[in-house]
Amino acid sequence: MSEERHDGTRRSGGPRKAPEIFDATLDLLAEKGYEGLTVEGVAQRSGVNKTTIYRWWPSKGALLGAALTGARRLDVELPDTGSLQGDLEALLRTVVTLLTTPPGSDVAVSALGAVTHSPELAGHVRDFFADRIDRERPVFDRAVARGELAADADPMLLVDLLAGAAWLRVVLRQLPVEKDFVSRAVSTVLNGASITRR
Amino acid sequence: MSEERHDGTRRSGGPRKAPEIFDATLDLLAEKGYEGLTVEGVAQRSGVNKTTIYRWWPSKGALLGAALTGARRLDVELPDTGSLQGDLEALLRTVVTLLTTPPGSDVAVSALGAVTHSPELAGHVRDFFADRIDRERPVFDRAVARGELAADADPMLLVDLLAGAAWLRVVLRQLPVEKDFVSRAVSTVLNGASITRR
Protein backbone atom coordinates (compact mmCIF):
# COMPACT_ATOMS: atom_id res chain seq x y z
CA MET A 1 0.00 0.00 0.00
CA SER A 2 1.54 3.28 -1.02
CA GLU A 3 0.40 6.56 0.44
CA GLU A 4 -1.47 9.07 -1.70
CA ARG A 5 0.34 12.40 -2.13
CA HIS A 6 -1.37 15.79 -2.40
CA ASP A 7 -0.71 15.88 -6.15
CA GLY A 8 -2.62 12.63 -6.67
CA THR A 9 0.48 10.47 -7.16
CA ARG A 10 1.79 7.92 -4.71
CA ARG A 11 4.85 8.11 -2.58
CA SER A 12 6.47 5.10 -4.18
CA GLY A 13 5.88 2.91 -7.18
CA GLY A 14 4.63 5.59 -9.53
CA PRO A 15 1.44 7.49 -10.27
CA ARG A 16 -2.03 6.13 -9.68
CA LYS A 17 -2.33 4.87 -13.25
CA ALA A 18 1.04 3.07 -13.11
CA PRO A 19 -0.54 -0.30 -14.07
CA GLU A 20 -1.99 1.21 -17.27
CA ILE A 21 1.30 2.99 -18.02
CA PHE A 22 3.28 -0.24 -17.54
CA ASP A 23 0.90 -2.24 -19.74
CA ALA A 24 1.11 0.38 -22.49
CA THR A 25 4.92 0.39 -22.22
CA LEU A 26 5.17 -3.37 -22.60
CA ASP A 27 2.58 -3.43 -25.42
CA LEU A 28 4.51 -0.82 -27.37
CA LEU A 29 7.81 -2.62 -26.78
CA ALA A 30 6.30 -5.85 -28.09
CA GLU A 31 4.75 -4.13 -31.11
CA LYS A 32 7.47 -1.71 -32.12
CA GLY A 33 10.67 -2.84 -30.44
CA TYR A 34 12.85 -0.66 -28.22
CA GLU A 35 13.55 1.81 -31.04
CA GLY A 36 9.84 2.39 -31.59
CA LEU A 37 9.03 2.78 -27.90
CA THR A 38 8.44 6.43 -26.93
CA VAL A 39 7.10 8.15 -23.84
CA GLU A 40 4.70 10.01 -26.18
CA GLY A 41 3.36 6.68 -27.43
CA VAL A 42 2.92 5.38 -23.91
CA ALA A 43 1.12 8.58 -22.90
CA GLN A 44 -1.24 8.29 -25.85
CA ARG A 45 -2.06 4.63 -25.29
CA SER A 46 -2.45 4.83 -21.51
CA GLY A 47 -4.34 8.11 -21.54
CA VAL A 48 -1.90 9.58 -19.02
CA ASN A 49 -0.34 13.01 -19.55
CA LYS A 50 3.22 12.87 -20.90
CA THR A 51 4.47 15.25 -18.24
CA THR A 52 3.08 12.97 -15.50
CA ILE A 53 5.05 10.06 -16.92
CA TYR A 54 8.23 12.14 -17.20
CA ARG A 55 7.80 13.33 -13.59
CA TRP A 56 8.26 9.72 -12.46
CA TRP A 57 10.55 8.32 -15.14
CA PRO A 58 12.98 10.69 -16.83
CA SER A 59 13.55 8.48 -19.88
CA LYS A 60 11.98 5.63 -21.80
CA GLY A 61 14.70 3.34 -20.45
CA ALA A 62 13.77 4.19 -16.86
CA LEU A 63 10.09 3.70 -17.70
CA LEU A 64 10.71 0.30 -19.27
CA GLY A 65 12.83 -0.74 -16.29
CA ALA A 66 9.98 0.15 -13.94
CA ALA A 67 7.49 -1.67 -16.17
CA LEU A 68 9.62 -4.84 -16.21
CA THR A 69 9.64 -5.13 -12.43
CA GLY A 70 6.26 -3.52 -11.79
CA ALA A 71 3.87 -4.83 -14.45
CA ARG A 72 1.21 -7.21 -13.23
CA ARG A 73 1.48 -9.37 -16.34
CA LEU A 74 5.12 -10.18 -15.61
CA ASP A 75 4.34 -10.89 -11.97
CA VAL A 76 4.84 -14.42 -10.73
CA GLU A 77 2.85 -15.92 -7.91
CA LEU A 78 5.24 -17.81 -5.70
CA PRO A 79 4.25 -21.48 -5.60
CA ASP A 80 4.00 -23.44 -2.35
CA THR A 81 3.06 -26.98 -3.39
CA GLY A 82 4.73 -28.74 -0.46
CA SER A 83 7.62 -30.18 -2.45
CA LEU A 84 10.64 -28.71 -4.20
CA GLN A 85 9.82 -30.67 -7.36
CA GLY A 86 6.31 -29.23 -7.37
CA ASP A 87 7.45 -25.68 -6.64
CA LEU A 88 10.17 -25.74 -9.31
CA GLU A 89 7.77 -27.19 -11.87
CA ALA A 90 5.34 -24.37 -11.11
CA LEU A 91 8.09 -21.76 -11.45
CA LEU A 92 9.42 -23.24 -14.70
CA ARG A 93 5.90 -23.54 -16.10
CA THR A 94 5.50 -19.81 -15.50
CA VAL A 95 8.71 -19.08 -17.41
CA VAL A 96 7.65 -21.31 -20.31
CA THR A 97 4.22 -19.66 -20.42
CA LEU A 98 5.78 -16.21 -20.34
CA LEU A 99 8.11 -17.11 -23.22
CA THR A 100 5.52 -18.84 -25.39
CA THR A 101 2.27 -16.94 -24.86
CA PRO A 102 1.75 -13.51 -26.42
CA PRO A 103 1.84 -10.72 -25.45
CA GLY A 104 4.26 -11.66 -22.65
CA SER A 105 6.44 -13.64 -25.04
CA ASP A 106 6.85 -10.70 -27.42
CA VAL A 107 7.80 -8.50 -24.47
CA ALA A 108 10.33 -10.97 -23.12
CA VAL A 109 12.02 -11.50 -26.47
CA SER A 110 11.93 -7.80 -27.36
CA ALA A 111 13.40 -6.80 -24.02
CA LEU A 112 16.13 -9.34 -24.50
CA GLY A 113 16.92 -8.05 -27.98
CA ALA A 114 16.95 -4.49 -26.70
CA VAL A 115 19.60 -5.38 -24.10
CA THR A 116 22.13 -5.38 -26.89
CA HIS A 117 21.08 -1.90 -28.04
CA SER A 118 20.83 -0.01 -24.77
CA PRO A 119 23.20 -0.19 -21.82
CA GLU A 120 20.55 1.56 -19.73
CA LEU A 121 17.97 -1.09 -20.57
CA ALA A 122 20.57 -3.79 -19.93
CA GLY A 123 20.76 -2.45 -16.38
CA HIS A 124 16.99 -2.71 -15.98
CA VAL A 125 16.96 -6.29 -17.31
CA ARG A 126 19.68 -7.08 -14.75
CA ASP A 127 17.49 -5.54 -12.01
CA PHE A 128 14.50 -7.55 -13.23
CA PHE A 129 16.38 -10.84 -12.85
CA ALA A 130 17.87 -9.83 -9.49
CA ASP A 131 14.40 -8.94 -8.22
CA ARG A 132 13.04 -12.25 -9.50
CA ILE A 133 15.62 -14.43 -7.72
CA ASP A 134 15.02 -12.51 -4.49
CA ARG A 135 11.32 -13.28 -4.72
CA GLU A 136 12.04 -16.96 -5.43
CA ARG A 137 14.25 -17.54 -2.39
CA PRO A 138 11.44 -18.73 -0.07
CA VAL A 139 10.95 -21.75 -2.36
CA PHE A 140 14.51 -22.84 -1.59
CA ASP A 141 14.40 -21.89 2.09
CA ARG A 142 11.34 -24.10 2.52
CA ALA A 143 13.04 -26.99 0.68
CA VAL A 144 16.05 -26.71 3.02
CA ALA A 145 13.68 -26.67 6.02
CA ARG A 146 11.93 -29.80 4.68
CA GLY A 147 15.29 -31.54 4.28
CA GLU A 148 15.03 -31.78 0.49
CA LEU A 149 17.93 -29.49 -0.25
CA ALA A 150 21.33 -28.99 1.38
CA ALA A 151 21.60 -25.74 3.33
CA ASP A 152 24.50 -24.67 1.09
CA ALA A 153 22.65 -25.35 -2.17
CA ASP A 154 22.84 -22.54 -4.70
CA PRO A 155 19.32 -21.36 -5.63
CA MET A 156 20.58 -19.16 -8.48
CA LEU A 157 22.32 -22.11 -10.12
CA LEU A 158 19.13 -24.18 -9.98
CA VAL A 159 17.02 -21.34 -11.36
CA ASP A 160 19.53 -20.62 -14.12
CA LEU A 161 19.66 -24.27 -15.20
CA LEU A 162 15.87 -24.49 -15.42
CA ALA A 163 14.93 -21.04 -16.69
CA GLY A 164 18.00 -20.99 -18.96
CA ALA A 165 16.87 -24.23 -20.60
CA ALA A 166 13.49 -22.66 -21.33
CA TRP A 167 15.07 -19.51 -22.81
CA LEU A 168 17.46 -21.53 -24.96
CA ARG A 169 14.79 -23.92 -26.20
CA VAL A 170 12.20 -21.25 -26.98
CA VAL A 171 14.13 -18.13 -27.99
CA LEU A 172 17.34 -19.47 -29.52
CA ARG A 173 16.43 -22.94 -30.80
CA GLN A 174 12.91 -21.70 -31.56
CA LEU A 175 11.62 -25.19 -30.91
CA PRO A 176 8.35 -26.14 -29.26
CA VAL A 177 8.50 -27.09 -25.59
CA GLU A 178 7.39 -30.72 -25.21
CA LYS A 179 4.51 -31.53 -22.88
CA ASP A 180 6.84 -33.16 -20.35
CA PHE A 181 9.71 -30.66 -20.72
CA VAL A 182 9.02 -29.00 -17.37
CA SER A 183 8.77 -32.19 -15.30
CA ARG A 184 11.80 -33.78 -16.99
CA ALA A 185 13.92 -30.65 -16.60
CA VAL A 186 13.10 -30.38 -12.88
CA SER A 187 13.62 -34.12 -12.31
CA THR A 188 16.99 -33.97 -14.00
CA VAL A 189 18.18 -31.02 -11.92
CA LEU A 190 16.91 -32.55 -8.67
CA ASN A 191 17.73 -36.23 -9.26
CA GLY A 192 20.50 -36.16 -11.88
CA ALA A 193 20.73 -37.63 -15.36
CA SER A 194 23.61 -39.97 -14.64
CA ILE A 195 22.90 -43.65 -13.96
CA THR A 196 26.28 -43.98 -12.23
CA ARG A 197 25.77 -41.37 -9.52
CA ARG A 198 28.69 -40.50 -7.37
CA MET B 1 37.95 -30.81 -48.60
CA SER B 2 35.93 -29.05 -51.25
CA GLU B 3 36.79 -29.22 -54.91
CA GLU B 4 38.09 -26.14 -56.74
CA ARG B 5 35.84 -24.96 -59.59
CA HIS B 6 37.05 -23.39 -62.80
CA ASP B 7 35.97 -19.95 -61.62
CA GLY B 8 38.21 -20.20 -58.55
CA THR B 9 35.40 -20.88 -56.09
CA ARG B 10 34.68 -24.15 -54.38
CA ARG B 11 31.84 -26.53 -55.04
CA SER B 12 30.47 -26.25 -51.53
CA GLY B 13 31.00 -24.05 -48.51
CA GLY B 14 31.66 -20.82 -50.35
CA PRO B 15 34.51 -19.08 -52.16
CA ARG B 16 38.17 -19.61 -51.36
CA LYS B 17 38.25 -16.64 -49.01
CA ALA B 18 35.16 -17.79 -47.09
CA PRO B 19 37.05 -17.75 -43.74
CA GLU B 20 37.98 -14.08 -44.21
CA ILE B 21 34.45 -13.24 -45.35
CA PHE B 22 32.94 -14.99 -42.32
CA ASP B 23 35.32 -13.25 -39.91
CA ALA B 24 34.53 -9.86 -41.44
CA THR B 25 30.80 -10.62 -41.21
CA LEU B 26 30.98 -11.50 -37.51
CA ASP B 27 33.26 -8.53 -36.75
CA LEU B 28 30.84 -6.12 -38.39
CA LEU B 29 27.88 -7.69 -36.63
CA ALA B 30 29.65 -7.29 -33.28
CA GLU B 31 30.67 -3.69 -34.03
CA LYS B 32 27.58 -2.33 -35.73
CA GLY B 33 24.71 -4.69 -34.96
CA TYR B 34 22.51 -6.36 -37.55
CA GLU B 35 21.24 -3.02 -38.88
CA GLY B 36 24.78 -1.84 -39.55
CA LEU B 37 25.89 -5.06 -41.22
CA THR B 38 26.08 -4.74 -45.02
CA VAL B 39 27.51 -6.92 -47.78
CA GLU B 40 29.41 -3.81 -48.95
CA GLY B 41 31.03 -3.51 -45.53
CA VAL B 42 31.96 -7.18 -45.51
CA ALA B 43 33.45 -6.86 -49.01
CA GLN B 44 35.52 -3.87 -47.95
CA ARG B 45 36.83 -5.46 -44.77
CA SER B 46 37.56 -8.88 -46.24
CA GLY B 47 39.02 -7.56 -49.49
CA VAL B 48 36.67 -9.76 -51.51
CA ASN B 49 34.65 -8.39 -54.40
CA LYS B 50 31.03 -7.64 -53.51
CA THR B 51 29.73 -9.55 -56.53
CA THR B 52 31.66 -12.65 -55.43
CA ILE B 53 29.96 -12.50 -52.06
CA TYR B 54 26.53 -12.00 -53.64
CA ARG B 55 27.15 -14.96 -55.98
CA TRP B 56 27.28 -17.23 -52.93
CA TRP B 57 24.95 -15.48 -50.52
CA PRO B 58 22.06 -13.47 -51.97
CA SER B 59 21.48 -11.38 -48.84
CA LYS B 60 23.20 -10.28 -45.65
CA GLY B 61 20.93 -12.64 -43.72
CA ALA B 62 22.10 -15.61 -45.79
CA LEU B 63 25.70 -14.50 -45.37
CA LEU B 64 25.37 -14.18 -41.61
CA GLY B 65 23.69 -17.58 -41.43
CA ALA B 66 26.63 -19.14 -43.28
CA ALA B 67 29.10 -17.29 -41.05
CA LEU B 68 27.39 -18.54 -37.87
CA THR B 69 27.78 -22.19 -38.84
CA GLY B 70 30.97 -21.84 -40.88
CA ALA B 71 33.24 -19.44 -38.97
CA ARG B 72 36.27 -21.00 -37.36
CA ARG B 73 35.99 -18.82 -34.28
CA LEU B 74 32.57 -20.25 -33.45
CA ASP B 75 33.77 -23.77 -34.06
CA VAL B 76 33.85 -26.13 -31.11
CA GLU B 77 36.25 -29.00 -30.81
CA LEU B 78 34.32 -31.99 -29.55
CA PRO B 79 35.78 -33.10 -26.22
CA ASP B 80 36.58 -36.75 -25.49
CA THR B 81 37.87 -36.78 -21.90
CA GLY B 82 36.73 -40.30 -21.06
CA SER B 83 33.86 -39.26 -18.77
CA LEU B 84 30.53 -37.54 -19.31
CA GLN B 85 31.30 -35.10 -16.48
CA GLY B 86 34.58 -34.17 -18.18
CA ASP B 87 33.05 -33.87 -21.64
CA LEU B 88 30.14 -31.74 -20.45
CA GLU B 89 32.47 -29.49 -18.45
CA ALA B 90 34.57 -28.98 -21.58
CA LEU B 91 31.49 -28.19 -23.68
CA LEU B 92 30.08 -25.79 -21.09
CA ARG B 93 33.46 -24.12 -20.66
CA THR B 94 33.44 -23.44 -24.41
CA VAL B 95 30.00 -21.83 -24.16
CA VAL B 96 31.07 -19.68 -21.21
CA THR B 97 34.23 -18.60 -23.02
CA LEU B 98 32.24 -17.77 -26.16
CA LEU B 99 29.80 -15.66 -24.15
CA THR B 100 32.39 -13.85 -22.04
CA THR B 101 35.40 -13.31 -24.30
CA PRO B 102 35.32 -10.68 -27.05
CA PRO B 103 34.95 -10.71 -29.99
CA GLY B 104 32.95 -13.94 -29.82
CA SER B 105 30.83 -12.63 -26.95
CA ASP B 106 29.82 -9.51 -28.88
CA VAL B 107 28.87 -11.69 -31.83
CA ALA B 108 26.81 -14.06 -29.72
CA VAL B 109 24.89 -11.31 -27.98
CA SER B 110 24.43 -9.27 -31.16
CA ALA B 111 23.17 -12.29 -33.06
CA LEU B 112 20.73 -12.96 -30.27
CA GLY B 113 19.47 -9.40 -30.29
CA ALA B 114 19.12 -9.49 -34.06
CA VAL B 115 16.88 -12.57 -33.85
CA THR B 116 14.10 -10.31 -32.67
CA HIS B 117 14.57 -7.97 -35.64
CA SER B 118 14.91 -10.39 -38.52
CA PRO B 119 12.87 -13.53 -39.13
CA GLU B 120 15.46 -14.59 -41.70
CA LEU B 121 18.28 -14.32 -39.17
CA ALA B 122 16.11 -16.12 -36.61
CA GLY B 123 16.08 -19.05 -39.05
CA HIS B 124 19.87 -19.02 -39.26
CA VAL B 125 20.23 -18.91 -35.48
CA ARG B 126 17.88 -21.90 -35.32
CA ASP B 127 20.08 -23.72 -37.88
CA PHE B 128 23.19 -22.83 -35.86
CA PHE B 129 21.80 -24.48 -32.72
CA ALA B 130 20.49 -27.50 -34.65
CA ASP B 131 23.92 -27.96 -36.21
CA ARG B 132 25.57 -27.63 -32.79
CA ILE B 133 23.46 -30.33 -31.11
CA ASP B 134 24.11 -32.68 -34.05
CA ARG B 135 27.84 -32.24 -33.57
CA GLU B 136 27.54 -32.83 -29.82
CA ARG B 137 25.70 -36.15 -30.07
CA PRO B 138 28.85 -38.34 -29.98
CA VAL B 139 29.51 -37.11 -26.42
CA PHE B 140 26.20 -38.62 -25.34
CA ASP B 141 26.52 -41.76 -27.45
CA ARG B 142 29.87 -42.48 -25.80
CA ALA B 143 28.38 -41.89 -22.32
CA VAL B 144 25.60 -44.37 -23.07
CA ALA B 145 28.21 -46.88 -24.32
CA ARG B 146 30.22 -46.39 -21.09
CA GLY B 147 27.08 -47.01 -19.00
CA GLU B 148 27.03 -43.47 -17.57
CA LEU B 149 23.80 -42.41 -19.21
CA ALA B 150 20.54 -44.24 -19.91
CA ALA B 151 20.03 -45.05 -23.60
CA ASP B 152 16.82 -43.00 -23.59
CA ALA B 153 18.43 -39.92 -22.03
CA ASP B 154 17.66 -36.66 -23.84
CA PRO B 155 20.89 -34.96 -24.96
CA MET B 156 19.10 -31.76 -25.97
CA LEU B 157 17.61 -31.38 -22.49
CA LEU B 158 21.04 -31.76 -20.88
CA VAL B 159 22.64 -29.28 -23.29
CA ASP B 160 19.80 -26.79 -22.83
CA LEU B 161 20.04 -26.95 -19.03
CA LEU B 162 23.79 -26.33 -19.10
CA ALA B 163 24.17 -23.92 -22.00
CA GLY B 164 20.94 -22.17 -21.02
CA ALA B 165 22.31 -21.53 -17.53
CA ALA B 166 25.38 -19.89 -19.07
CA TRP B 167 23.28 -17.70 -21.40
CA LEU B 168 20.98 -16.64 -18.57
CA ARG B 169 23.81 -15.89 -16.16
CA VAL B 170 25.96 -13.98 -18.64
CA VAL B 171 23.56 -12.29 -21.06
CA LEU B 172 20.43 -11.68 -19.00
CA ARG B 173 21.65 -11.49 -15.40
CA GLN B 174 24.91 -9.92 -16.64
CA LEU B 175 26.68 -11.48 -13.69
CA PRO B 176 30.19 -12.91 -13.64
CA VAL B 177 30.49 -16.68 -13.95
CA GLU B 178 32.08 -18.05 -10.77
CA LYS B 179 35.24 -20.13 -11.03
CA ASP B 180 33.37 -23.33 -10.14
CA PHE B 181 30.19 -22.53 -12.08
CA VAL B 182 30.98 -25.06 -14.82
CA SER B 183 31.80 -27.99 -12.54
CA ARG B 184 28.88 -27.30 -10.20
CA ALA B 185 26.42 -26.94 -13.08
CA VAL B 186 27.51 -30.24 -14.63
CA SER B 187 27.55 -32.04 -11.27
CA THR B 188 24.03 -30.83 -10.55
CA VAL B 189 22.68 -32.00 -13.90
CA LEU B 190 24.42 -35.38 -13.64
CA ASN B 191 24.04 -36.10 -9.92
CA GLY B 192 21.06 -33.97 -8.87
CA ALA B 193 20.70 -31.18 -6.32
CA SER B 194 18.22 -32.99 -4.10
CA ILE B 195 19.46 -34.70 -0.94
CA THR B 196 16.34 -36.87 -0.86
CA ARG B 197 16.75 -38.53 -4.24
CA ARG B 198 13.94 -40.65 -5.50
CATH number at residue A51: 1.10.10.60
Residue A87 and residue A167 in one domain: yes
Residue A105 and residue A156 in one domain: yes
B61: containing domain: 18-70
CATH number at residue A184: 1.10.357.10
CA distance B187 to B158: 12
pLDDT attached to residue B133: 93
Domain final position from B44, B70, B96 = B70
Show residues of chain A in contact with B112, CB under 8 Å. Answer: 112-113, 116, 171-172
The C-alpha of A113 sits at a distance from chain B's nearest C-alpha, in angstroms, of 4
Task: Answer whether B183 touches A (CB < 8 Å).
Answer: no
pLDDT (tens digit per residue) in B151-185? 999 999 999 999 999 999 998 898 999 999 999 99
Task: Answer whether B148 touches A (CB < 8 Å).
Answer: yes
Show residues of chain A in contact with B196, CB under 8 Å. Answer: 147-148
* Residue B47, CA atoms < 13 Å, CB-side half-sphere: 4
pLDDT attached to residue A10: 42
A156 found inside a domain: yes
Residue A23 and residue A107 in one domain: no
Total of domains in chain B: 2
pLDDT band, very low/low/confident/very high, at B113 (cuts 50, 70, 90): low
Average pLDDT over residues B73-91: 91
Is residue B111 over pLDDT 50? yes
Nearest to B96 by CA among B157, B162, B33: B162
Residue A94 and residue A185 in one domain: yes
Residue B57 and residue B81 in one domain: no
CA distance B120 to A44: 32
Task: Answer whether A168 touches B (CB < 8 Å).
Answer: yes
Residue A95 and residue A115 in one domain: yes
DSSP A33-61: HHHH--HHHHHHHHT--HHHHHHH-SSHH
A182 found inside a domain: yes
Number of CB atoms found within 10 A of residue B83's CB = 16
Show residues of chain B in contact with A114, CB under 8 Å. Answer: 113
Is residue A1 over pLDDT 50? no
pLDDT band, very low/low/confident/very high, at B5 (cuts 50, 70, 90): very low
Residue B167 and residue B106 in one domain: yes
